[in-house]
């Protein structure tokens, strides 16, 4: 499932709430962004296209499909309409914050409990929970879609809140997570569903924006805390062989160094204020290559970001693990939170030290007056644990986040260490493959 937000709209520029209001149209920039999505997705065989009926999304879908030139006519559905905010629509955010201060704070910080007292035709007032409603709407959309399009590639074009609800419901997040994800204008996300509704999806990537001219999403207005660029190390020879490496200190191979070079160029124009890496060779070398474009930034290292210890599995291939430890590999691949690596760690061990190291980094870079951008380079399991943590998910969701070699994710802290983080982008690999899809080596951890 390829999920796209509409292009920049007239209300976006004026910072006016849109919701179901349908006077907001694409700007010239928004139209150009939509065409860029079409160009970027060319070469991908798309089976069908769905879109919201609201003008800004419908126009975006039309421009994308015209550019794709695959003969699609977008199917319009009300289930992709933007969140309904009946008391706020067509009003500026500044006026809403002044007129509805308590509701606005709930919208920003407690979206699951955010409600509107909406007057009814009979003169009564009814409490309406907009975020809960959009979550229910997203689940209803997915259920119908998956029943009808198994095994197909589907393009969905909609809006900011409904797209966050689509991602959230797919990976198991509730309405409280609305503001822990970001969707930029014409940002592209990819979800892989294993089968029927009810089986959680894998988030292959989220909010890729390089096709619009921004390698990573622009920092949102008013954010005061640090921005962390979470990168997985480049490929090693053991990744390529699908051999479990864990805490055996394997260096990058030639392709891994090339991936680090590509990440360096991708992030060349992104200001970086600090850098921290796992002290193992493969992430440390990746970080040093990226920092060649940022010579004034020194690299700190920590054992807190070391890869998971696989214990007796390290150095082995899957068939050797299955022979020596029957059934454990399948458990690791299906219920990772239940597995104690023989002679190594379990996922909770990894979780505890990764989160501790991560929070120390956030705290360190929350002390400055201006927002700091920090490069953090680590490993597959570490990065997955961090991504689960920042979105509010637990160890049981470990496999729902993909991490390619050399991939970049972006996590923002609106108000620093005490605020809830926002996942602004996840597993961006376009600099490695030129595609929205992650084609890096799968490899063992």
User: What is the set of active-site residues?
Assistant: 233, 307
Task: Return the half-sphere exposure (C-beta side, CA atoms, 13 A cut-off) of residue 103.
Answer: 20
Residues 239 and 195 occupy one common structural domain: no
Q: Write out pLDDT tens, residues 196-250.
A: 888 899 999 999 999 999 999 999 888 999 999 999 999 999 999 999 999 999 9
Residues 269 and 201 occupy one common structural domain: no
Mark which of 212, 239, 262 sits at the end of a domain.
212
214 CB-contact burial (10 Å; exposed 0-12 / middle 13-18 / buried 19+): middle
Residues 235 and 288 occupy one common structural domain: yes
Has residue 280 been placed in a domain? Answer: yes
Has residue 440 been placed in a domain? Answer: no
pTM for the whole thing? 0.96
Q: At what angle do helices 130-148 and 160-171 cross, to 10 degrees?
A: 70
pLDDT of residue 203: 97
The enclosing domain of 178 has a CATH number of 3.40.50.1240
Has residue 412 been placed in a domain? Answer: yes
- The binding site comprises 232-239, 282
Residues 230 and 317 occupy one common structural domain: yes
Nearest Cα to Cα of residue 286 among 275, 274, 296 = 275
Q: H or E element: which one contains 329?
A: helix 328-334
Task: Report whether pLDDT(444) > 70.
Answer: no
- The binding site for substrate comprises 232-239, 282
Has residue 81 been placed in a domain? Answer: yes
Q: Write out pLDDT tens, residues 120-146.
A: 989 899 999 999 999 999 999 999 999
Q: Write out pLDDT tens, residues 262-283.
A: 999 999 999 999 999 999 999 9
Q: Write out pLDDT tens, residues 228-239.
A: 999 999 999 999
Residues 183 and 235 occupy one common structural domain: no
Has residue 119 been placed in a domain? Answer: no
Residues 199 and 306 occupy one common structural domain: no
Has residue 101 been placed in a domain? Answer: no
Number of domains in the chain: 2
pLDDT of residue 428: 98
Residues 382 and 270 occupy one common structural domain: yes
Q: What are phi and psi of 408, to 5 degrees?
A: -120, 130
Residues 59 and 141 occupy one common structural domain: yes
pLDDT of residue 31: 98
Has residue 122 been placed in a domain? Answer: no
Chain centroid to Cα 237, Å, comes to 28
Domain that holds residue 13: 2-86+132-212
Mark which of 186, 212, 238 sits at the end of a domain.
212
Beta strands in 184-335 (DSSP E): 188-192, 202-208, 227-232, 274-278, 299-302
Residues 272 and 199 occupy one common structural domain: no
pLDDT of residue 442: 60
Alpha carbons 51 and 60: distance in angstroms, whole number: 9
Share of the chain above pLDDT 70, in %: 99
pLDDT category of residue 423 using cuts at 50, 70 and 90: very high
Has residue 99 been placed in a domain? Answer: no
Task: Report whether pLDDT(441) > 90.
Answer: no
């Amino acid at each position: 499932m390829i999920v796209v937000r509409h292009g920049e709209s007239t209300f976006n520029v004026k910072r006016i709430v849109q919701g179901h209001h349908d006077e907001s149209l694409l700007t010239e920039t928004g139209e150009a962004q939509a065409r860029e999505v079409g160009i970027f997705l060319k070469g991908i065989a798309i089976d069908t296209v769905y879109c919201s009926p609201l003008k800004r999304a419908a126009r975006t879908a039309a421009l994308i499909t015209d550019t794709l030139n695959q003969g699609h006519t977008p199917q319009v559905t009300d289930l992709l309409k933007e969140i309904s905010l009946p008391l706020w629509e067509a009003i500026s955010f500044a006026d809403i914050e002044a007129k509805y201060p308590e509701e606005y704070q709930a919208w920003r910080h407690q979206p699951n409990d955010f409600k509107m007292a909406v007057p009814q035709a009979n003169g009564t007032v009814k409490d309406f929970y907009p975020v809960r409603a959009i979550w229910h709407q997203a689940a209803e959309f997915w259920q119908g879609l998956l029943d009808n399009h198994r095994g197909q590639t589907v393009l969905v074009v909609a809006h900011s809140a409904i797209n966050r609800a689509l991602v959230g419901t797919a990976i198991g997040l509730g309405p409280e997570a609305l503001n822990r994800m970001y969707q930029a204008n014409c940002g592209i996300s990819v979800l892989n569903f294993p089968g029927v509704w009810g089986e959680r999806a894998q988030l292959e990537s989220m909010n890729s924006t390089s096709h619009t001219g921004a390698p990573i999403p622009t920092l949102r207005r008013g954010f005061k805390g640090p921005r962390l660029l979470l990168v997985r190390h480049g490929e090693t020879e053991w990744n390529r062989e699908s051999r479990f490496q864990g805490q055996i200190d394997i260096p990058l191979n030639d392709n891994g160094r090339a991936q680090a070079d590509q990440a360096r160029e991708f992030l060349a124009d992104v200001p970086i204020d600090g850098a921290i890496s796992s002290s193992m060779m493969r992430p440390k070398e990746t970080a040093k290559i990226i920092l060649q474009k940022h010579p004034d930034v020194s690299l700190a290292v920590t054992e807190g970001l070391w890869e998971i210890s696989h214990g007796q599995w390290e150095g082995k291939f899957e068939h050797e693990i299955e022979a020596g430890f029957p059934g454990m590999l399948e458990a690791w691949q299906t219920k990772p939170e239940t597995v104690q690596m023989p002679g190594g760690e379990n996922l909770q061990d990894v979780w505890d030290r990764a989160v501790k190291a991560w929070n120390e980094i956030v705290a360190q870079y929350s002390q400055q007056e201006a927002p700091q951008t920090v490069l953090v380079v680590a490993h597959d399991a570490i990065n997955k644990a961090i991504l689960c943590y920042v979105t509010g998910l637990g160890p049981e969701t470990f496999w729902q986040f993909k991490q390619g070699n050399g991939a970049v994710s972006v996590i923002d802290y609106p108000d620093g260490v005490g605020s809830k983080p926002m996942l602004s982008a996840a597993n961006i690999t376009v600099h490695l493959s030129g595609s929205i899809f992650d084609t890096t080596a799968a490899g063992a951890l």
